[in-house]
Structure formats: structure tokens, C-alpha cells
Structure 1
Amino acid sequence: MAANGALGPVGVAAQETLRVAGVVTDDETGAPVEGATIRLADPSGSVRETVTGPQGAFAFEAVPLGAYVLGVRRIGYEVLSTALEVGLDGRSLDVRLRPQAIPLDPLNVDVEGRPPRLVETGFYDRKEEGWGTYIEPEWIEANKAGYVRLSDFMSTLQGRGPMPRCPDVPVYLDRKPIGTTSGWGTSRARSINPAGTYRSAAGPPPTLLEELSTFEVGAAELYSAGTKIPWFAWNGKSMECGAIILWSNWTAAMAEVPKIDVALCEPTGRPGEVALEGFVEDEVTTVRLPAAHVISSYPTSEGLERVETVVRTDSLGRYRLCDLPAGAEVDLAAAYGPHAGDRLAVPAAAGADVRLSVPVTPPGSVTGLAINEVTSQPLEAVRITVDDTDFRAVTNRTGAFSLEGLPPGSYRIRALCGGFYSSAQTVEVAEGAQLRVVLALRSKGSARRSRCSA
């Protein structure tokens, strides 16, 4: 990481604070890196966090002078952690991330001594962050002996970490909710229906947690209330009572990992021939895809027939096509496992760098409604924006809007309407998720407004 140039304005000395800002770029291409998570931690453990915008920029306001650790994380790049001294001489930080190919399904990540499928869940990344208590497969295997039902094993798990005194702690298995368990220091009531509203003589049906055996579990994560809980388990209940996240025995088992060992071709340098190369990446996350297939088709120099070739990307997601007729139109397409990208026609030219994309990660969508806060009536022609992105929408006559093709991540959705105060809401979009939000706007004038003014 390099730091250069003056940064202003600098906080006054009496306040002993400073604005810390910078730009995150790709170390290879120099392109700005959007969506990188920036964390600034002081020696006491207090952490401030932000996310880079479309130009890779970030900033922390009013940072007290002193020693910090700056951490930068972005999928597809190596994690950066470095010491940072915030002094009176302001600096603009030039942060450069090294690309790191991350295999996606159906490939596995080869991490020595760690189950590759568990690595892919983010278990070990979250363990390094340290927000919860993480129980690895070895401990689970050694301590679940003697238990038959998974529900009976919960109290043993909870003894490993601080859990709130809450009667219903949500439990997840491989990202899916399977029931609730009693929090630490509480016990399940004799009747789980004290109000007597359930009329079945057989009683409420058991949850999946009560039906599964301890054989199913291979690793666990414990989160207390108020901690940073993974998006798939983050809701009102987990914010109040924390969450227990289990990973199946299959996920936590060691698996045979295919090695990616692809050597790119070397051009012969014959006159009239050129090489064409580039990257293959996930269309939504822009993660580079190793061992992807690149299918090409181009006419011979005589133009009498077409040549079709298939090459694979190396461990960094790069491909190369050698000895192409200069100027020939080359049809390119990439595939990754069962996923195939659109075809692209490009001229064969020396020095060309063509990026191909494959829709591997399913994008999410957000639909919603903009309403008058007082009357709850829909508002037409409200401008809907997503902070730090190009996603835009406008509500129709019924106040509805839709934002499609959102990559997984955290977003701030904002509603803007003339004559009303703006409204905003933060959402967490998961892979393939379809979220719905309601944005209520308060009128600046007549409380019963039903339209946006010019």
C-alpha cells in the first residue's frame, strides 16, 4: 500500500481528529475497486467500517490521531492488513489490492488442513474476523459422542460461547432455519403453546431441529445478540437473541480437491499472426474464474473454413489464444461448469485484452412500494436510487418499483420525491434473493399529498 499527497481538510489540532481517505485500485490494471470493505481498528478493538464506491474511494471522518490497523477485503483479491499512523500531516491513501482467483461451484478451494466446502461457506473468514465463537469439525466430532438427537446437543454447543438468556435462539443448518433452542440459562416451557390457541390434540409438529441426529452436524458458529451475524441469519429475532449456525457433516468433511494446473499457450511469432488474451469472470461478482472453458471460432487466412478451439483459463482466470490470423473476426464464449456466457465477436489484434463473463452467481432483486407516511397512499413518480451504484427506478401509478440484477451485498436504497423528505433503507441482498421494501415519505407541506411536485 502506498500513501502520497496531502489530504484536506485536516481536523484542527485542538480536536485532534483527521479525515482519513483514499482510493482502492487493482494492483495489476490500476482500475478502481468498487465494493471493497474498509475497516479501521484502533488498539482498544473499536472498529469503523465503510465500503468503497464506484471510483474506489473511501473516507472516515473525524478520526482521532494515533495508531490503527487498516484492513481491506474484497472478493477476488488478497486480504490486506497494514499498520496506519494517523498524524497531523494528512495523507491520501493509495491502496492496491492483488487479484486472487476464487474458485466457485463446482470447484473447491484447496486449503491445507481445512475442509474445502467449509472454506467456501466463509466459516474461516468469519473466524478470522472474530465476531462469534467458531467450533471446528475436530471438536464437534470429539464431543458429540453419546448424543443421538441434535436438539439435545445444543446445550453442549452453547457452553462454548456467550449466549443470551433468551427462550428462543434461532438455529440454522447449511444456511436454512431448522428451529429454535433455549438460550443459555433458560429452559423450554412445559407447554410450547401456553395461550391454548393450538387446537390439534397431537400438539404442534416438531421442528427439523428436533428430528435430526447429531450425525448431521460437522461445525458450528455461535453469535450473541448485537454481534455481526451473517446475512442469511440476520433478522429481528437473531438481533435480539443471537443465532446458532450449524454446518452439515458433509460440508465439514474433507473432500478430494481437483488441482488447477493450466499452462497458457506461447505465440510462435509468425508474421501475420497475433495472440488474443483476457480474463473470464463471474458476471455478477466479477470474481475471476479459474479452469473455465473459452470456446473460439475464426476463419482461416484463406477464409475457406472456420477453425474452432477450446482453451482453459489458468489459476488466475486468464486465457490466451495463440497464432490467430491478424484482423480476423473471432467469436468468443466462456463456460464455467454448467454456466455459459454470451458470445462475443472481436477482431484479432496484437495486445487485445478481452474480458469474458459467465453468469455464475445469481443476482438478487428488490421490489417495493413508496407511500405517503401519513396516509399510507402510494406515491407515483418517486425516484428510487441505490447509493454508490447506477441502479435507478421510478415508481408507477401504484407506487411500485423494481430493482433487478443486484449483486450480493449491502445496499442503501433511497426514495426522492419533490415536496417530500427523502426516505432510505438498508438491505442485505443474497444470491438470488427477492426482497421487498416499503419506503414511507413525509410531506413537507400538505400532509395528505399524493404526488411528487416538480
Structure 2
Amino acid sequence: MIATARAPLLLLLLALATVVWIVPGSRSLAAQEAVRVAGTVTDETTGQPIEGAMVRLADFAGSVRETLSGSAGGFAFEGVAPGEYVLGVRRIGYEGLSTPLEIGPGGLATLNLGLTPQAIPLEPLNVDVEGRAPRLAETGFYDRLEEGWGTYFEPEWIRTRSVGFIRLSRFVSNLQGRAPLSRCAQVQVWYDERFIGYTSAWGTSGPVSINAAGLHRSAVGPAPRILDELSVTDVGAAELYTPPAPIPLFALNDTTAVCGAIILWSDWTARTAEIPQVDVKLCEPAGHAGEVALDGFVEDELTGVRLPAAHVFATYPTSEGALRRDLAVRTDSLGRYRLCDLPAGAAVELEAAYGPETGRRDVFEAASGTEVRLIVQVTMPGAITGLVVNEGTGRPFRNVPVVLVGTDFRAVTNTAGRFSVEGLPPGAYRLRAICEGFESLAQDVELVPGASVRVMLALRPEGPLPPRRCAG
């Protein structure tokens, strides 16, 4: 009888519970369903997809999700709850992108995020040495200069002597006058790693011609004299080698081994313009017993962005253990590196470098499947400091949380109402002070590398009664 008496009541409660979900203004379960956020990262100038860009999705509660764009520039976040977010994109060689994103119950259309190319300036290697051109550094010019096997003419020396039109035939003669002359009647001349002919300090009749569009073979008739066709303004650096000096591998042949070589680098190569673009192929393990490969990434310590064309230096003992070997490799376009054929279990000392910046040297065990992350501080951190005050009275607030919306950076004001958030990557930020009973107006800040920005956040009372937990 009791069960029978309660049955109508249970049915009534179930019906009311069903009605609650369809009351106007309430949100349905379907509206709470997670959605997919996807898009493509492209070069805003060329429209080409950008691989290896770090895409970051952060909500106002401080939860952060990250992924890397693929070979076609695509990225995706699965299971994203509807709400307000900040979407950020970073890639070495491009300006950072940060934009607010409101995700509704129906999700978003596919996003197309265009990044603007940005030159990455490299600081001087020494206080008395001019910043080195990344593209010229990639040719090995500065490494050979430090070894000192030949005679080297740096970009600054060339620039101070390139006023007006001076034919290269005459200029090369001047260069040869400042270096030991070869005993051969003719010397090969190379331009940006390409053989362009011979010189005896009186010109050349090489078979290749250069015009404004680049290097090409003459279509009709004999090609003009290369060193008379070019001007000194086409040159940014030069190297002269006389036997028995070792010749760079790209120019080494039976003739240069006996007679030496003159190597010229174009003005374009010697400009300090942008990050070097290097086509790096990772090594493949030989598969010998007792040997393993060590893989990993080189990343910027502050932003976590992976660094292409970074150096990785390794020192490890040989299989006999008595001697130690040094190995140097480069990271590929995605910041990946690989060290092949290491003795299994060996203690390997690793150090990464990017431009003039060098990371910490650590020791890792060479083991199959191990992935080692190396960090270098390339991006200089910034800071945001400020004061939180009552908009009506001007009095400072103490013990008030200050958040950078969409990030996990936080600060709390001191007794004088001041706060400081340090170690920030460059980019756009939105600051908000949180105080019960007060309306918080967000303030946008643009932070450049190494800068410190000061702000003032004013809080406005939401009602006539003073709050209990927050006073100012």
C-alpha cells in the first residue's frame, strides 16, 4: 500500500524534472556538449601553410591546451566546452598572434590564422664584434674565419669599399694583392657555392653568367666575363685560399686542391636580415649492436617554441671508454635533432645553442626511445607591474588577485596595493583584478621582449554597501 501511494508522487516529480530542462532561458544538455576547434596556420604574406607553429587555447580559469600545426598548417582541439577563450599562435620567424575567441554551443567554423613574418635579430657574439649575418653564418664562413686557414674579408670590410660601380675583375685583383698569391696561372672563383670561372687577376672567361634573376647559363653565344659583369656591390664577403690550406668541401676538387680558390658570397647572403632557413636531414642509425639513437627537441626556454637550425653539441665516451668523442648536429625545420650510433647506456653531455645564446650543459643516458628536450633562452622575458585602487576613493587594495586572462600567470597585491608579474613572454595580455563586490574592468597590455610595463587597475563598487572581504 505504501509503494502504491508513492507512485503518483514519483511520477509527478519526474514530470517536473523534465519540465525544468525546457524552461525558457535555461541551457539544455546539448548546449553543454563539447565541440571541436580546428583551423590552419598560414604565412600572411605568401599564403603558404606553416608547420610547427605552437597553437595555445586558454580559458579564463587558467586552463591551457597546446598543440603544434602539422605539415599542411592544420591544428585541432577536441572536446572543447563552449565559453570564452584566448587563442595564441607562436612560431620562430613570425610575429606572435593572440586573439579572444568565443565558442558557442554549435562550435566554430574552421579558423584561418595568418602570421606576419618577423625578422629575429641576433645579438653580437662579442661586445666588440658586429652581429653576424645568420645566412652567412650558415655557410660556415665565421667558423672558417676563426680557424684562420685562409684570408677573410668580412661584410663590414666589403661595405666600406663598395661605393660606386667597381667591377669584380678589379676588386678580385685587390683581394689577391692582400693575400698570398697562388703559383698557378689561374684560380677558380666560386660565388654562393657555385663555380663561375677562373681568374688570374685580369678577368675571366667562365662559361656561366649571372643576371638579376640569378645564376644561369647563357642561351646564345659565349657568356660575358663574369667578373666584368658583376660589381663589388654584388659581394658581401670573400675568402681566399692558397695551398696547402684546406679548401671548403663544396669547392674542393683536383684544381683547387693544387691552386687554391677564391670564394665570394653575395650581398644578400651577408645581410643580417632574418632567421636562417636550413634544410637539415636527421641522421639514420646504422643499426649496430650495442648502439642507440638519441632524439629530442631544442626549445626557447620562455615561450616553449621549438628552434630550427639550432646547434646541438654532444660529448660521450667511446665503446672502449678510454676516449671521448665530440659530435655536433643541427635541428631541422621543426626544432628536432637526432644523435645516431651512440654506445647504449653511455653518459652523454648535451648542450644546445641558437645564435649567440647557449643553453645549460646536462648529462643524459643514451637509451633507446629516449627523447631529450634542450632549452635555450632566446626570447628575453618582460614584466608587468602596477597598482590596484578604488576608483571612487583612490585608496589601494591589498591582497587582491590579479590575473592575466587566458594564461596561468597570477599575482596578489601587497599592503600598498602593488603587484608584479615577471618572466612573461612578449605578446598581448589582458589584465583583470578580482575583488568581491567590485566591478573589474580589464586592461589590455602589449609587451615587447625585455620590456617592463606599468599599469593601474581601478575597481568600481557594484552596489552602495561596502563589501566585507575587499576594502580599499
Q: TM-score, normalised by structure 1?
A: 0.47
Q: Kindly name which structure, 1 or 2, has the bigger radius of gyration based on alpha carbons.
A: 2
